[in-house]
Amino acid sequence: MMGGVMTRWTHEQVTKLAPDSSSLNAARRLAVPGPWSDAGASETLLWGKCQGSGKTPYQVSVDLTGPAFRCSCPSRKFPCKHALALMLLWVDGQGTIPDTADPSAFAGEWAAQRAAKAVATASKPEKKPPDPAAQARRLEERLALMDGGMADFALWLGDLMRGGTAAARHQPYSWWDGTAARLVDAQLPGLAEQVRTVASEVRQRDDWADLLLAVAGRWWTATHAWSARESLTEHEMGDLRAFIGWPYSTEEVKAADAVTDRWLVLGAHRSDDGRLQQQRTWLWGETSHETLQVLDFAAGGQPLPVARVVGSVLQATVARYPGTTSRRARFVDDPLPVGDAGGLPAGGDVEDALATAARAWAVNAWAARVPVVLADVQISASHLVDKAERSLPLLRGTEPWLGMAVSGGSPVSVFAEVEEQGLRPLSVAIDGKLVAL
Amino acid sequence: MSTPDLDLWWRRLGSAALVGTARRPAPSLAELELGGGSALRPRAGARPEDAALDAAALGGALRRAGRLASTQAPSPAAAAPELLPEAPVRAAQLLELLLTQPPTDNTGTEELLLHWAATCRQAGYHVPHRLLPALLDRATSKELRSQVSVVAGERGAWLAPQNPAWSWFEESRRLHEATHAIEEAHDPDRWALMGTDERVSQLRRVRKGDPAAGRDLLLTTWNTDPAKDRRVLLEALLVNLGPGDEDFLEGALDDRAASVRELAAHLLDGLPGSNRAARMAERLSPLLGETGLLRRHLEVRLPDDPDAAGRRDGLGKPPPGRSARGWWLERIVAGAPFDAWGAPPEKVVPRLKDDDVMAGLRRAASVRRAPDWARALLDLGLEPDLLAVLPEDERESRVLDNLARAPHTSIPALLASLPPPWSPRLSAAVVTRLAGLKPEQTGPLLEVLMPQLVRGLHPDAVPALQRWRAKAQLPRRHDAKLGSLIQSRTLRQTISEAFQS
């Protein structure tokens, strides 16, 4: 086995791929040599045949750097238990799966198909949108709802300011939640979510008054921008839509702005507020030098899609959502893993990171966070500190320990999200590898 | 625009917002001096609350974009380079598995983690840095903490003190070093500064090599140590207890703390050549019947109330539920030299009936480490304390003999007399015994025995375990326990091998 790949995959990484715990349990039972034949591993591929209940064994192939999976079984789980089991056997099986450069025929063919597909995707015809008249009518109804909701919200902000933030702080949660519920009804779920978040923060934080004042100001700009939306550019409208929670349909995005590049997976962050799980993956284009975010959501106990391996490089075409900076993107098709990044793109010091963030916020004041690469910074229990001893605090809820453990207080390159209150490191480059935090 | 101006203006805006613009108007945007003579113009005719919101929007944006880096946070000191190599890849994967997806129950995982850490230490490696946080979080038992504090390496020693949740680390590491150091000068100045746990382990260590030096160390602080410390430190004299300790222990019989006096008397049970032993012999001889060696039973009479000297020698208040005279008899027998009986153990022990006498003899045989008396007593019934006196192979033979015929409920106590890990021979015998049980006995016994099996069973016993499991068809819950046991024994072997590569 080539050292780079072998050492990068861990048992934990494999188990994180599981769509749910029952798949993982089923996979553990299959992760023994018994049912497997014709199995092997190369630097990028892992394959094997798994004897199931039927006569013909299932053919399982895993593209390791993606990761991407194929299995001839009928399961709708992705990855299925066979692919998970094969990976578990590979990481835990003490060489049960032999290393060889020549994949089995079925795995080799699949890899070749994937490569060909990645090339062909760009010219794929688009689906024709259904019934333009009905669409236009639905849009009009939606806009009317949103107009009303925005006007109400502006009045609510005025009341908040006239009555005072101290009084608002003593309002019961239902007062905030009622506002949020009206925003949801008005198809403004992004604002509703922010109102709920702020409601809990004003009760918990010492600096709640500054926070509420600044957020109220930002909400206020959204209400004004909405009334003047005719004058916004397409990209400014994209920023506003992301802020208030008016999503673009897949077709709208795919039709737009595609860009093909080799994308380095800089880092990822998962959050779960009980209702909604969110996964944010940051990509950096080796040619375009553009940083994009891919957002995935899952609600009601559904599993999030497979996380991209931090540090891998993906050959992919992504469609960019309208927006000015830190744009959201989605993969047009399955990305093709093409290798490993040895580290992070060039970064700056703390001043540079703040300047980058200020520039981004000058363009898009509604962006919650700005991605930055910091070079030569030390990770302490509470801060990142650069060579000039300038520092930024870690955001609340950020665990510094893994970053400290791997860096040992030595200067390292770090990929992080800068937010108003501080930053959140997401990966750190150590010994020619990118470690996800 | 200078930041202090903005801050001041923002604070004024903040206090207006706090009480509400109905009571206090917000400062105007126009008052905000921007560089180069430019200024923000407020919207004409805006209501006070709208003007405040305008101000909040612009002021908030300015503050966020104008944020300055802090210069207060000190640069962290870097960790020292590692002195040992990182654990092999395969071993690291196994550790990660144990930490993130434990394949067995909690008892099994704890034991495997201990085994991982002990093997890592012996093989001379350190824990991979990326696994340190999870391992430090997982180490909650004293034993695992002690091992982890060593294999965590230089990086761990640097990292742990920075997280309050890992504050146990430094103490554990010192303690481990004190326990395992071969050559370390016992500096009396440092002795006085050590914590009690550390002093106990230091004292035990010194006693192993040089009992007199250990005693001297103890004496340096004896007069100032509180009773609680004197008690636990005195207990460490049991290591290599010898005639040289007599004077000190004799003195401790007059200690001001009852708990210390009592323990000193107990320790003197271990010195059959001492003056106290002679005094006990004098107390014992009138109690022995004049019936001589021809009688089938040897009668031992109960003693009278002790005098002041007897009380000083440990004939004090009996434990709850014991008769006072019976207790004194036990203490006299335990303290008197064996030759007070005038015959070898095989001639004496079988003729004794009295429980108090037997208890005293057991005590004497175990504290004096007298194998001949221990053997004679063990022939009457298995006692873990007495087993410990015997050489290891003899000890195991005795357990093996008893294993086959002892009632199944006494198996845990029987096995408790042999420290884990067990030999392949004993492990095989244990599995055979368990496999021969009635199905309704197996489950409950497994529950009790599991911690011992997890630590004791030799990996060679795994095939036998697997055969038994396949045959036994235990109820699901107990079958899972057995599966977990097999898994952990297999993994234990795998861990050992991973460090050999």
Query: Alpha-carbon distance B330 to B318, whole Å?
Result: 10
Per-residue pLDDT of chain B (501 residues; tens, 9 = 90+): 445 688 889 999 999 999 999 999 888 888 877 665 566 777 888 889 999 999 999 999 988 988 888 888 778 889 999 999 999 999 999 999 999 888 777 888 888 999 999 999 999 999 999 999 999 999 999 889 999 999 999 999 999 999 999 999 988 888 887 766 644 555 667 787 888 888 888 888 888 888 998 898 899 889 899 999 999 999 999 989 999 999 999 999 999 999 999 999 999 999 999 999 999 999 999 998 765 556 677 888 899 999 999 999 999 889 998 999 999 999 999 999 999 988 899 888 888 888 899 999 999 999 999 999 999 998 887 777 888 888 888 888 888 888 888 888 888 888 887 888 888 999 999 999 888 888 788 888 888 888 888 888 888 888 898 898 888 888 887 888 888 888 888 888 889 899 986
Quick check: helix, strand or coil at residue A420? Answer: coil
The reply to whether B132 touches chain A by the CB within 8 Å rule is yes
B158/A379 touch (CB, cutoff 8 Å), yes or no? no
The reply to whether A217 touches chain B by the CB within 8 Å rule is yes
The reply to whether A365 touches chain B by the CB within 8 Å rule is yes
CA distance A202 to chain B (A): 12
Pairing type for strands A328-331 and A45-50 reads unpaired
The H or E element spanning position A286 is none
The reply to whether B56 touches chain A by the CB within 8 Å rule is yes
Residue A341 CA from chain centroid, whole number = 18
B76/A379 touch (CB, cutoff 8 Å), yes or no? yes
> Among candidates A212, A214, A246, A239, which has minimal Cα distance to A225?
A239
ipTM of this complex: 0.72
Instruction: Output the pLDDT for position A2.
Output: 35
Cα-based distances in Å from A116 to A120, A198, A262: 6, 48, 16
Instruction: Output the pLDDT for position B11.
Output: 93
Residue with tokens 């126009």: B30
DSSP tag of A275: S
* Total number of residues shown for chain B: 501
Quick check: helix, strand or coil at residue B342? Answer: coil
Q: How confident is the model at residue A6 (pLDDT cuts 50, 70, 90)?
A: very low
Q: Two tokens at A69? A: 């999976």
DSSP bridge pairs for A285: A263
- From A132-141, A271-280, B209-218, the region with the lowest mean pLDDT: A271-280
B64/A378 touch (CB, cutoff 8 Å), yes or no? no
Please spell the DSSP secondary structure of A320-387, one letter per residue: EPS-SSS-EEEESS--EEEEE-SS----B-HHHHHHHHHHHHHH-TT-S-EEEEEEEEEE-SSEEE-T
Query: Alpha-carbon distance B221 to B192, whole Å?
Result: 7
Residue A310 contacts residue A283 (beta carbons within 8 Å): no
Tell whether pTM > 0.80: no
Residues on chain A touching B71 (C-beta within 8 angstroms): 389-391
Contacts with B, A 417-436, CB within 8 Å:
420, 435
Q: Two tokens at A375? A: 């070079």
Q: What share of chain A is helix, strand, coil (3-state, %, to 5)?
A: 40, 25, 30
- Comparing alpha-carbon positions, the chain A residue that sits nearest to B78 is A409
Q: Two tokens at B347? A: 């001639």
Please spell the DSSP secondary structure of A199-226, one letter per residue: HHHHHH-TTHHHHHHHHHHHHHHHHHHH
> Among candidates B317, B315, B320, B285, which has minimal Cα distance to B301?
B285
What crossing angle do the helices spanning A208-227 and A189-204 adopt, rounded to 10°? 160
The reply to whether B17 touches chain A by the CB within 8 Å rule is yes
Sign of the Cα pseudo-torsion (A392, A397, A398, A400, in order): positive
Q: What share of chain B is helix, strand, coil (3-state, %, to 5)?
A: 70, 0, 30
A161/B76 touch (CB, cutoff 8 Å), yes or no? no
Residues on chain B touching A383 (C-beta within 8 angstroms): 70, 73
Contacts with B, A 226-255, CB within 8 Å:
none
CA distance A350 to chain B (A): 7
Q: How confident is the model at residue A34 (pLDDT cuts 50, 70, 90)?
A: confident
Residue A100 contacts residue A54 (beta carbons within 8 Å): no
The H or E element spanning position B19 is helix B3-19
Contacts with A, B 166-195, CB within 8 Å:
none
> Among candidates B448, B497, B495, which has minimal Cα distance to B114?
B495
Query: Alpha-carbon distance A323 to B187, whole Å?
Result: 71
Contacts with B, A 366-425, CB within 8 Å:
378-383, 385-386, 389-393, 399, 401-402, 404-406, 408-410, 420
Residue B204: partners with Cβ closer than 8 Å, 6 or more residues away:
B236, B239
Asked, as a colleague might, if the bond just before B421 is cis with ω within 30 of 0, I would say yes
Helices (H), A54-206: 81-92, 105-120, 132-163, 165-169, 173-185, 189-204
The reply to whether B101 touches chain A by the CB within 8 Å rule is yes
Q: Pick the residue of B10, B93, B126, B499 with the most A CBs within 10 A to test the interface with A by mutation.
A: B93
Residues on chain A touching B79 (C-beta within 8 angstroms): 408-410
Each as own residue / partner, the long-range contacts of residues A56-60 (CB below 8 Å, 24 or more positions apart, any chain) are A58/A82, A59/A106, A59/A107, A60/A86
Q: Two tokens at B240? A: 């290599």
* Total number of residues shown for chain A: 437
The reply to whether A207 touches chain B by the CB within 8 Å rule is no
Quick check: helix, strand or coil at residue B103? Answer: coil
Count residue pairs from A and B with Cβ separation < 8 A: 176
CA distance B17 to chain A (A): 5
Q: Two tokens at A5? A: 């790949």
The reply to whether B83 touches chain A by the CB within 8 Å rule is no
Query: Alpha-carbon distance A421 to A383, whole Å?
Result: 12
Asked, as a colleague might, if the bond just before B350 is cis with ω within 30 of 0, I would say no
Query: Alpha-carbon distance B12 to B20, whole Å?
Result: 12
Q: Dihedrals φ, ψ of A336, to 5°?
A: -105, 115
Residue A362 contacts residue A406 (beta carbons within 8 Å): no
Given a cut of 50, whether residue A1 has pLDDT beyond it is: no
Residue with tokens 């995935």: A296
* Mean local confidence (pLDDT), A172-198: 93
**Per-residue model confidence as pLDDT tens digits over A319-342:** 999 999 889 999 988 899 898 888
B66/A405 touch (CB, cutoff 8 Å), yes or no? no
CA distance A389 to chain B (A): 6
Residue A1: partners with Cβ closer than 8 Å, 6 or more residues away:
A41, A43, A99
B53/A362 touch (CB, cutoff 8 Å), yes or no? no
- Comparing alpha-carbon positions, the chain B residue that sits nearest to A391 is B70
Residue A60 contacts residue A45 (beta carbons within 8 Å): no
Of A210, A379, A391, the CB nearest to B14: A210
Residue with tokens 């791929």: A17
Residue B311: partners with Cβ closer than 8 Å, 6 or more residues away:
none
Residue A84 contacts residue A18 (beta carbons within 8 Å): yes
* Mean pLDDT score of chain A: 87
B49/A166 touch (CB, cutoff 8 Å), yes or no? no
Neighbours of B235 (CB within 10 A): 15
| HEC secondary structure over A300-318 | CCCCCCCCCCCCEEEEEEE
**Per-residue model confidence as pLDDT tens digits over A371-429:** 999 999 999 999 999 999 999 999 988 999 999 999 999 999 999 999 988 999 999 99
Pairing type for strands A370-379 and A312-320 reads unpaired
Q: Two tokens at A345? A: 């793109």
Instruction: Output the pLDDT for position A7.
Output: 47
DSSP tag of A395: P
